[in-house]
Structure 1
Amino acid sequence: MESTTSTIAVPSHSLLLSPTRWRKVLPIASSRSDTSSAQPSTLRLLLKVSRSPYQQIRKRLYQSPNSAANSHPHGYIIGRTSPDSERTLEGRPLAPVESIMDMRLICAFLLLALLQQCSAESLSTTPDGSIQAIAQGPDSISLYWRHEGRSAKVFVNGQPRGSLEPNPAGPYSSKTIGSLLPNTFYTFAVGESSPTVTERTWAKLPAQESFDLLVIGGTASGWAAAVVGARMGMKVALVESTNRLGGMTSNGLGAVDMRNMAHSNGAFQDFRERVIEFYGGGEGRKLEPRVANAILKSMAYEQSCLSLFMKVQVTGAIREANCVRGAIVCDTISGAKGRLYAKVTIDATDCADFAATAGVEYRVGREPRTDCEPHAGYIYFDDAAQTILPGSTGCADAKVQSYAYLMTWKDYGDRPAPLVERPASYSPEDYTYSPEWAKTWNATSGVLPNSKFEINQHPFGIDKPGINFDYPCADAKRRCEIDAIYRERALGYLYFMQNERGHKNLGLADDEYLDSNNFPPGLYVREARRVIGEHLVTECEVTNARQYFHADSVGIAEYPMDSHAMEELRAPDDRLDKGEGEMYLSAFTPWSQVPYGVIVPRCVEGLLVTTAVSATHVAYGTLRLEAVRMSMGQAAAVAARLAITRGVSLRCVNPAWIQDSILSQHAYIYWFSDVTPMTRHFKAISFLGARGVLVSEPFRPDSALTEQEALAAVDRLVRLEGGMPQQIELQASQAEMPVTRGLFAKWLVQSKARVDATWRAAVARQSYEDVAPGSPYFEAVEALRAHRITPSLFANYKPGLFQPEAPMTRADAAQAIYLAHRAYAMSH
C-alpha cells in the first residue's frame, strides 16, 4: 500500500460527528501544488498517514453523491455500535470502526485531538484582533497591528521582513507585503513572541481556464456553493468583486437572523460551529465581522481545488444558444481580462446581473394583493398587532425596500471613541425621532461580542427608503451614486448619536474593516431582481406551509416574511406603522420548505441562481436570510455535481438525488423539533417528511407507531408511487394500538406489491427462526429481506430473529418505508 506524507490539522469538534470539520492545512509559504517547502510551526504536525485507509474514513465522514457509500440506501454514522451501524461500503459489511482503522490511523486521530488549537493559528485574525492579515491581490497581503505606541519587527514565515512603526493617526499600524506568490499561504508575526496569523493570496486571473463549477459572487450562497462544490471534488472558481467572502455575514450582519437556532443546519451549521469554537462557547448567534470573514476565508482556503478570484468583475456571459458556458471577467486591480469556462455556472450575486445578461427573465418590485398574496402591494402594516392598516391599496409597483450599510460600532467606555466628520448631506431631522440609544434595535438585539453592536436601526436610522428603486437594473455609475447616499446616511446616524445625543463613547469599531476605514465595503442589498424560476414561492405557500409537502425540497426557511420600508417615515406622531411597505409577518410565517425549482431559472441552461431566487416580494422575505442562502448554495453545488456526473441538464436533476447528498451533509429538507442529524434514521425521517409521510410534530422517533399511523403511512407511499391504497378498515379500539413488526411488514409489502411487481415474487426459504413458513407474516418478512430491509436496521436487534410481535418504532418504520420507496424516488 502506497503511503504519502500529508499535512493534517485538527477538526475542532468530534471527528466522528462533524463530517465537514476536516481541515487540511497546506504547507506554509508554498503554492498548493508544491509541498516541498513546508516549514514546521508551533502546534502543527506532519503525519505520515496511509492514504488509502484515510480516504476511506473520510469518505464515510463526508460523502459525495457519487460515492459508493452514498449510493447505498443506508446512511453512515461512523463509530456507532448499535444495529444502525451495520451498513455496507462498496457492497461489504461494515465492521465496527475499531476494526477498520489500523494503529497508524488510531494514533493519528489521537494526535489530532491533542492539537485542536492549531485551527486558530490558521485564521487571518488573532482572537483579540490585535494582528490581522488581509489579502490585497494575487501577490500582496496587508498586515495590521495594534501598536500601542510601540515599534516591532515583522516576520513572514518566520523570516524578518521589515518593521512596523507607531501610527500617530490611529491605533493600527499597517504594512503591505508585496512580491508574494499567487494562491499561497503565508504566516505573519509582529515581534519575537507574538501570536501568528495566516492569510493566503488570491489566484492570479488566467487569460482562459476551464472549471467544473463557476460561482459568481462571494455572497453567503456563493461561498457555500463554492466550498461545498470543492469538497465534492469539483474544480471550482469563485469570482468576487471585493476582497471579503460571505456577503452580509462578513459585512456587518453580526446578529444572526434566525428565530430558532434549532433550525441551523448544513453549511451554515458548519460555519456556526466554528464561530462557537472561536469564542469558546455560546450559540454562534452573535459574531464580529472580522471573525466571520476570517472563518469564511479559512473554510474556503481548506479546499485545494477552489480558486478565488477576488476584486474581479464579471463583464459578460459566454453562451451557446440558450446555454451558459462561462463568464468574461476583468481584474479591477490590474485590468487583466479573462474567460472562465464552466460546465455549470451559479449566479450568487444580490442583483442577478449575470443571470440577466444571460437572458434569464426576472421580476423587480411588488406584486398586487391577491387571495394568495394578502400582504402584497402598497401597504401600511402594524407589526405589533399584525394587521393591515387603512390606506393600504395593495397595488403593484416597481419599488424595492430600503438598503443600508450595517456599520459595526463599539462602546469605548471611558475612552473617547473616534469621532466622524459631519457628512455633507447631514440633516438632524432625518434622525430626530430615533429612539434613545438604550432603546434602539442596536443596543437590544444587535449586541455583539467585545462591546460591539450591529447597527441596523430603522426607521430614523441607517435606512433611506425611496432612493434605490432603480438600483437593481442600474449601471455601475448609478449604483455608486446610490451607495454614496447610503454611506452618508449611515455616517450621519453615527454623527447624530455622537453629537446630538452626546454618545461620545460610541464609534466605529477600530478593529473592523481595517482596509476600508472601519466602514463595511458591502451595501446591504436586501432585495433586487428576483428571477423567474421553475417554481415561484408565494406568500400563501409559506403561510400555509404545513398544508404543502415539497418532494423537491432542498432546504428550510423560518425567518418571518418581512420588508423594510419603501417610503421614509417623516413624522411618526401616533402612527402604528414604520413607513409604507415595512412589515414583519411573524404571525404569518411558520418554517417552510425551499423547493429546488426556486434556484433553477426558466429557459436558460447551465445556470443556477442562489441569491436572487424565484419568489414574490412577500415570500422572498423568508428566503433572503444568510443561513437560508447558504442552504440554497449548498444544494446548488450538489445539483451541479449531479448534472455533470450524470450527464443531465440542471432542470432534469432529480431532487431526490440532491436530497440524498445534502441529508448526508446534515442539511434539513423538512424539520421536526425532536429530530437532528444525530437522530437514528435521520435521513429516512427527513426524506419521508418532505413527502408527507409520517409527519406528526413532534416526530417521537423512539415511540411505537400506531396501527392507524402505519396504514396512513403506507397509503401515502402508494399514492406517491401512483397507485391506489388498499382498503383496510380498523376498529376504533385498534387504531391507537402499537403496530407490530410483523403486521407492519405485511401492510408495507402488500402496499408496494400494488405498484411494483418485484414485490410480488414468491420466497421459498426461511431466514428468521421466529417467522416460519406457516406464519401469516412469512411472505412479507422474506419480501422485505429480498429488498434489503432487515431487522438489523431496527432497535433491539437480535441476530437471527425478526421479532414479529415487537412494536415497530416510528424511526424504524421510517427507515423501512424509505428503503422501500427509495428506488422509485431515485428514478422518477
Structure 2
Amino acid sequence: MRKNTCPFLLLLLVINLWSCSGEQKSTTATENSTEYQADIIVYGGTSAAITAAVQAIRMGKSVLVVSPDTHLGGLSSGGLGFTDTGKKEVIGGLAREFYHRIYLHYQNDSSWQWQKKEEYGNKGQGTPAIDGTERTMWIFEPHAAEKVFEDFVKENNIQVFRDEWLNRQSGVKKENGKIVSIQTLSGKTFSGKMFIDATYEGDLMAAAGVSYHVGREASSVYGEEWNGIQVGVLHHGHHFKTNISPYKIPRDSTSGLLPRISAEDPGKRGEADKKVQAYCFRMCLTNHPDNRIPFARPEGYDSTQYELLVRVFNAGWRELFDKFDPVPNRKTDTNNHGPFSTDNIGMNYDYPEASYERRKEIIKEHEVYQKGLMYFMANDPRIPADVQKEFATWGLPKDEFTDNSHWPHQIYVREARRMIGEFVMTEHETLGKKPVPKPIGMGSYTLDSHNIQRYVKPDGYVQNEGDIGVHIAEPYQIAYGSLVPKKEECVNLFVPVCASSSHIAFGSIRMEPVFMILGQSATTAAVQAIDKGITVQEVNYEQLKAQLIKDKQVVNAPKSAL
C-alpha cells in the first residue's frame, strides 16, 4: 500500500507546486476533472467579476471565474455603452483602465467602419465621450467592450468556466462560517479560500445564508426621505404628463383595464414593498442602411399590449428619440424614456428570488414585449406618421450580438437582492449627510430608481410610480462594510454588486463603473485576508487603503470632482 500511496502523494505535491507558480493560475486534478480549486473563486460574468479576477492575478493569487453567462461584461458589454459616469475623477484603478482601453480601441481607424471619427461628435453623460487629455473614452459599442473584457482574461491567463450555474439548493458547502466550495448544476465543484459573488442577482450570497433585502424598505427603517413607495413623486419625464384613461373604453371603468396597468392600490408614500424597479434591454440600434436590420414581428406579438402608448402619442407626446444616445458608428444605446417605453413595469417582481426556469420565462416575456414594442412603432398605422417615418429608419445592427439574433444577451437587472452586511449604505451617506467608515471606492451618480408600478389614481387616470432622481452635490465614499456579510453569517465572502445598501442608495451605487471599482477593491481585501489568515471582517483598513491607492483606486475625491 505504501508503494502505491507515496507516488500518488508526490504527484499531488507536484500539481500543487505547479499551480502556485506564476505561469499557472488555477488547478485541475486531471483533464476531465470535475473538481477545481484556486485561492479566489469569482462567481459571475459581470464587469465586477472580471475586474475582481484581474486584480487577483496582479496580486499573485490564483483565481477561477465561474460564470453563468457565456458573454463577459454584463451590461457593460450588453448594450449599456452610454456610460453613467457621474464624476469621472472618482473612477480609478481597473475601471479607468477599462475606459482607457476603450479609448485606444477607437484610436484605430479600423474601428470606425460605419462613421468617420470626426462625424461622431463628443456627447457623453457627465463627461465628454472622448477625453483626450485623460486618454479615456466613456461611450462605446457593445462588441468593443466585450473585446476589452476578453483581452483582460486572455492577457492574465484567467480560466473562465462559462455557462456554469450555481446549484442554489445544495451547491454551497460551508464549515464554521466559511464557504469551502460551490458546486454548479453540471456537477463541477470549485474550492477556494475566498469567494466573490459578482452576479446581478446575488445567488451565491443567498445560497450561503447571508441576509439580504428585496424591494423597498420603509422610509422609517433608515430615516430616509426617498425610500419606500413614492406615490405622487414625479422626478423625471417618465410619467403621464396629461390625463390618460386606463380603461379599454376611455373613462368607462366597467370596460376593464388596458394591459400592463395594475388594479392594486399602490400603497402610501414611505411604506415598504417587495417590488423592484423595472427591467429592460439596453438596445443597440443603428440607422445606417448597410448595417440595419428592420424590426421583425416577434413570435407571440400582441398589438393590444401597446394601446396605452397610442393614447400617449395622441395626447401630443413626442419625446420618443430623446434617449437614442449616440455611440460610435451611427449606433445608439437606447434606453427607456417616457411614460410608456422599454421599461416593462411590474413584470419582474419575482425575478430576484425566482428559479432559473422562471427567470428565463421573465426574460423571454421582456424580450417579446420590447421586440413587439419596436415592431408596433415601426408598423402600426395608429403611430403618428411623422414619428413612424423617422422610427422606420432604425433597426438592429448586423455586427452586434451576432450569436443572439442581434439582440442584447443581458437583460438590465437594475436591482435584485441587496445584502444586509456589516454596514448598510443609505441616502445619508450618498448625500454627504453622514460620514462613511473605511471607504474603498467612490460613487457620484444621481440617486436613480426607475418606475416600479403603473396604477390607477383616485381620479381615474393612469400614472407611474417609483421613478426617483435626486441630485448628488459631491461624490461620496463607499464603505468597506458594504462589501462583506456580518461575521456570524460568513467570513470569506465579498459581494461587490448586490452590495449592502438601501433601495435608494443602491440607485446610485448600481452603476457599471462603480461595480468595476468594487470588484477590484473586494479582491484586494480578499488577498490581504488570505495572506494574513484572517476573516474578511478583520482586514486591516489602513493596509487595505494603502494597497488601493497604490493600485490607483480613488478613495477620496480630488478637488476637481468637488
TM normalised by structure 2 equals: 0.77
Residue 342 of structure 1 is aligned with which of 192, 210, 231? 192
Structure-2 residue corresponding to 1:428: 306
Query: For the residues of structure 2 that align with 1:628 and 1:574, how far apart are their CA atoms?
Result: 41
Distance 1:384 1:289, change over 3 A: closer
Which secondary structure does the structure 2 equivalent of 1:212 belong to?
A: strand
Instruction: Give the Cα–Cα distance (whole angstroms) in 1 for the partners of residues 49 and 37 of structure 2.
Output: 18
Q: How do 1:682-693 and structure 2 match up within 5 A?
A: none
Taking CA–CA contacts closer than 8 Å with sequence separation of 6 or more, which of the two structures ends up with the larger relative contact order?
2
The code of the aligned residue for 1:638 comes to T
For 1:569 and 1:626, how far apart are their aligned partners in 2?
31
Aligned pairs (5 A) from 1:93-104: none
Task: Look up the equivalent residue of 1:345 and give its one-letter code.
Answer: F
Quick one: structure 1 residues 391 and 489, their matched pair in 2 at CA, closer, same or farther if it must change by over 3 Å? Answer: same
Q: Which residue of 2 is the match for residue 679 of structure 1?
A: none
Distance 2:374 2:431 in 1: 38
Q: Is the 8 A contact 1:464 1:568 kept in 2?
A: no
Number of the residue aligned with 1:654? 540
2:291–2:397 contact (8 Å) kept in structure 1: no
Corresponding residue for residue 483 of structure 1: 363
The answer as to whether partners of 1:317 and 1:326 remain within 8 angstroms in 2 is yes
Specify the alignment match of 1:406 in structure 2: 282
1:204 to 1:580, Cα distance in 2 relative to 1, 3 A: farther
1:548 aligns with 2:435: yes
Aligned counterpart, 2:295: 419
Bigger Cα displacement from structure 2, 494-503 vs 263-272: 494-503
- Determine helix, strand or coil for the equivalent of 2:89: helix
The answer to whether residue 359 in structure 2 is matched with residue 471 in structure 1 is: no
Cα 1:422–1:645, aligned 2, differ >3 Å: closer, same or farther?
closer
For 1:414 and 1:297, how far apart are their aligned partners in 2? 28
Work out whether residues 236 and 468 of structure 2, in 8 Å CA contact, stay in contact via their aligned partners in 1: no
Work out the CA distance in 1 between the residues paired with 2:271 and 2:317.
35
Q: Is the 8 A contact 2:280 2:336 kept in 1?
A: no
The correspondence for 2:62, drawn from 216, 235, 254, is 235
Aligned to 1:620: 506
- Equivalences, count: 462
Contact 2:295 2:371 in 1 (8 A): no
Q: 1:453 aligns with which of 329, 332, 335?
A: 332
Contact 1:415 1:505 in 2 (8 A): no
CA gap 1:272/1:539 in 2 versus in 1, 3 angstroms: same
Q: Residue 110 of structure 2 aligns with which residue?
A: none
Change (3 A) 1:601 1:418: same
Cα separation, partners in 2 of 1:268 and 1:578, compared to 1, 3 Å: farther
- Tell me which residue corresponds to 1:365: 215
Pair 464,341 (structure 1): closer, same or farther in 2 beyond 3 Å: same
* Runs of 4+ displaced beyond 3 Å: 203-206, 389-392, 413-417, 434-439
Unaligned segments of structure 1, at least 5 residues: 1-32, 34-54, 56-182, 184-202, 332-336, 676-696, 698-828
Q: CA offsets per residue over residues 236-269 of structure 1, 9 Å max, x none?
A: 0001112211110011101000123233211110
Match of 1:220 among 47, 57, 72: 47
Q: Give the CA deviation at 1:375.
A: 1.1
1:277 and 1:569 map into 2 onto residues whose CA distance is 47
Q: Report matched runs for 1:755-766 at 5 Å.
A: none
SS in 2 for 1:594: strand
1:293 Cα deviation after fit: 0.3
Conserved? CA contact 1:411–1:417, under 8 Å? no
**Distance across 1 between alignment mates of 2:291 and 2:499:** 46
Q: Which SS does the other structure have where 2:144 is aligned?
A: helix
- For the residue of structure 1 that corresponds to 2:559, the secondary structure is coil
How large is the Cα RMSD of the aligned pairs?
2.9
Residues 295 and 436 of structure 1, relative CA distance in 2, 3 Å threshold = farther
Q: What is the match of residue 117 of structure 1?
A: none
Per the alignment, residue 379 of structure 1 pairs with: 230
Structure 1 residues 423, 634: closer, same or farther in 2, change over 3 A?
same
Residue 286 of structure 2 aligns to a residue whose secondary structure is strand
CA contact (8 A) 1:204 1:309 kept: no
CA contact (8 A) 1:567 1:580 kept: yes
Say whether 1:598 aligns with 2:477.
no
Aligned position for 2:468: 583
Are residues 1:495 and 2:350 paired? no
Q: CA deviation at 1:557?
A: 0.6
Are the counterparts in 1 of residues 74 and 410 from structure 2 also a CA contact under 8 Å?
Answer: yes
Aligned to 1:666: 552
Q: CA, structure 1 residues 262+570, in 2 after alignment: closer, same or farther (shift >3 Å)? A: farther
Q: In the TM superposition, what is the alpha-carbon distance from 1:354 to its structure 2 partner?
A: 1.2
| Equivalent of 1:292 in 145, 164, 184 | 145
Cα distance in 2 for residues equivalent to 1:205 and 1:544: 53
CA distance in 2, matches of 1:295, 1:570: 46
- TM-score w.r.t. length of structure 1: 0.53
Change (3 A) 1:325 1:578: farther
Check conservation: 1:325, 1:341, Cα contact below 8 A.
yes
Question: Identity of paired residues, percent?
Answer: 30
Question: What letter corresponds to residue 244 of structure 1 in structure 2?
Answer: H
Match of residue 712 from structure 1: none
2:429–2:436: 8 Å Cα contact kept in structure 1? no
CA positional deviation for 1:655: 1.9
Please say if residues 533 and 597 of structure 1, whose CA atoms lie closer than 8 Å, have aligned partners that are also in contact. yes
SS of 2:359 mapped into structure 1? helix
CA contact (8 A) 1:208 1:338 kept: yes
Alpha-carbon contact 1:565-1:578 (below 8 Å) kept: no
Residue 391 of structure 1, CA deviation: 8.4
Which whole-Å CA distance do the structure 1 matches of 2:520 and 2:106 have between them? 25
Is the radius of gyration larger for structure 1 or structure 2? 1
3-state SS, counterpart of residue 521 of structure 2: helix
Task: Return closer, same or farther for 1:414/1:358 CA change in 2, 3 Å cut-off.
Answer: closer
Name the structure 2 match of 1:322.
177
Secondary structure of the equivalent of 2:165?
A: strand
Given that 1:254 and 1:289 are in contact with CA atoms closer than 8 Å, whether structure 2 keeps it comes out as yes
Partner of 1:409, secondary structure, is: coil
- In structure 2, relative to structure 1, the CA distance for the partners of 1:521 and 1:204 (3 Å cut) is farther
In structure 2, runs of 5+ residues without a counterpart are 1-17, 108-116, 118-129, 132-136, 242-265, 381-387
Query: What do residues 145-204 of structure 1 show as CA deviations (whole Å, max 9, x unaligned)?
Result: xxxxxxxxxxxxxxxxxxxxxxxxxxxxxxxxxxxxxx9xxxxxxxxxxxxxxxxxxx98
The residue type paired with residue 150 of structure 2 is K
Compared with structure 1, are the counterparts of its residues 256 and 205 closer, same or farther at alpha carbon in structure 2 (3 Å cutoff)? farther
Determine the structure 1 residue equivalent to 2:88: 261
Q: Deviations over 1:576-612 (max 9, x none)?
A: x9721111112x5631100100010112121111111
Q: Secondary structure at the match of 2:217?
A: coil
- Residue 363 of structure 1 aligns to a residue in which SS? strand
Provide, for residues 507-552 of structure 1, a one-character-per-residue CA deviation record: whole Å limited to 9, x for no partner: 111100111110112111111111110000111221135x5253x1
Partners in 2 of 1:416 and 1:319 — Cα distance? 51
Change (3 A) 1:569 1:259: farther
Verify the 8 A CA contact 2:50 2:152 in the aligned structure 1: no
Kept in 2: contact 1:554–1:655 (CA 8 A): no
Name the aligned partner's letter for residue 307 of structure 2: E
Deviation string 1:753-799 (CA, Å, 9 cap, x unpaired) is xxxxxxxxxxxxxxxxxxxxxxxxxxxxxxxxxxxxxxxxxxxxxxx
